[in-house]
Amino acid sequence: MSYEQTKYWSVDNFSGSEENLQLIKEAALWITKGEVVAFPTETVYGLGANALDERAVKRIFEAKGRPSDNPLIVHIADIDQLSELVSEIPEIAQLLMKQFWPGPLTLIFKKKEAVAPSVTAGLDTVAVRMPDHPVARELLRAAGVPVAAPSANLSGKPSPTTAGHVFHDLKGRIKGIVDGGKTGVGLESTVLDCSKDVPVLYRPGGVTKEELEAVVGKVNVDPSLLSDDQTPLSPGMKYTHYSPAGTLYLVQEKERILELVAQAKVDGKRVGVLTTEEGACRYKEADVVVPCGSRTDLASVATALYESLRKFDEYGAEVIFSEVFPYEGLGIAIMNRLEKAAGGQTPL
């Protein structure tokens, strides 16, 4: 499906002005009509459609070019909407919702039949979250329906953290975009399966494993290493994601990056390096050096990660060498995204 014009609604993140509310209501009306609309959340921009309308949900997959066996997250504005979607709410889920909702935590429940089949990719569970973003919450209230929404980018590309990123990827492919400014967290939500006896972490994100365990005790971690013939149990577990056009390599040692840059230049490649503010002056021989936050503040790295990956495309980098981050706290989520972007290649 294509559109001659993708509508654009520019609203203020923090203003509840009548003008902003009217624009949001207009965007929400298109969702109720079965169209697909992109909107900001505190994590990344989402591509939303009525989660109870199978035809509308299929338009998400068409717009993104997303594989049909990859489930979606349903977004709600109010806890009361859970009753439309899930058959039971375990005690553990109640504790987590009280602590982390609204926020960047997606919980997996046993589903109800009302959920459109394409949302769950044939699974008997559904992933749900309540976003912590004023524009997202207002849009969901105005739509009055639960909204299925993966990231609003072409499948496999870096997730969008600005409306401009969405427009670049999906212009003419969706009905409209609600521009609520730049997102905050910068990485997709944590995904936790609460339908198990012991909850299982399927995707690291803005809420860390340590924070989850402080509330509910032991949390198991799924390695997320699926073969091509397996069905992913959650969004973000399968396929290469978040990738720039150039080939991305993760490199353990900074000195090794210097060697690899020199070799790639000899081979005639346009070379990029993903580093941090502390290392920006180290890689002067590279064609494109993109500092991504500060190594002493991993939240700043998470916020800037996808925008940084997109910059390499803007500058035509053919090969990109990235520094790595510690596998602890938010660093686990950052490395998860970088490993997906690199296509699962072993760090050099």
* CA atoms of 188 and 147, how far apart (whole Å): 16
Q: Tell me if 151 is assigned to a ligand binding site.
A: yes
* CA atoms of 48 and 137, how far apart (whole Å): 13
Instruction: Write the single-letter amino acid at 122.
Output: G
Q: Tell me if 315 is assigned to a ligand binding site.
A: no
| Residue 134 contacts residue 31 (beta carbons within 8 Å) | no
Per-state percent for the chain, helix, strand, coil, to nearest 5: 35, 20, 50
Residue that is written with structure tokens 């800037």 in the block? 304
Neighbours of 294 (CB within 10 A): 14
Q: Where does residue 75 rank: exposed (0-12), middle (13-18), buried (19+ CB within 10 A)? A: buried
CA distances from 18 to 15, 23, 202 (A): 9, 9, 40
Closest C-alpha among 29, 124, 144 to residue 75 = 144
Q: Tell me if 153 is assigned to a ligand binding site.
A: no
Q: Tell me if 183 is assigned to a ligand binding site.
A: no
Q: Tell me if 70 is assigned to a ligand binding site.
A: yes
Residue that is written with structure tokens 């008997």 in the block? 124
Strands laid side by side in the 271-275 sheet: 247-250, 319-322, 271-275, 288-291
Does the bond joining 40 to the residue before it have cis omega, within 30 degrees of 0?
A: no
* CA atoms of 313 and 49, how far apart (whole Å): 29
Rounded to 10 deg, the angle between the 209-216 and 91-100 helix axes is 120
Rounded to 10 deg, the angle between the 134-143 and 18-32 helix axes is 50
Q: Tokens standing for 84? A: 């439309």
Q: Tokens standing for 40? A: 């900001």
Q: DSSP label at 189?
A: P
Q: Tell me if 231 is assigned to a ligand binding site.
A: no
* CA atoms of 119 and 53, how far apart (whole Å): 10
Q: Which residues are annotated as a binding site for ATP?
A: 66, 70, 125, 151, 159, 203, 242
Q: Which residues are annotated as a binding site for L-threonine?
A: 43, 75, 129, 149, 189
Q: Which residues are annotated as a binding site?
A: 43, 66, 70, 75, 125, 129, 149, 151, 159, 189, 203, 242
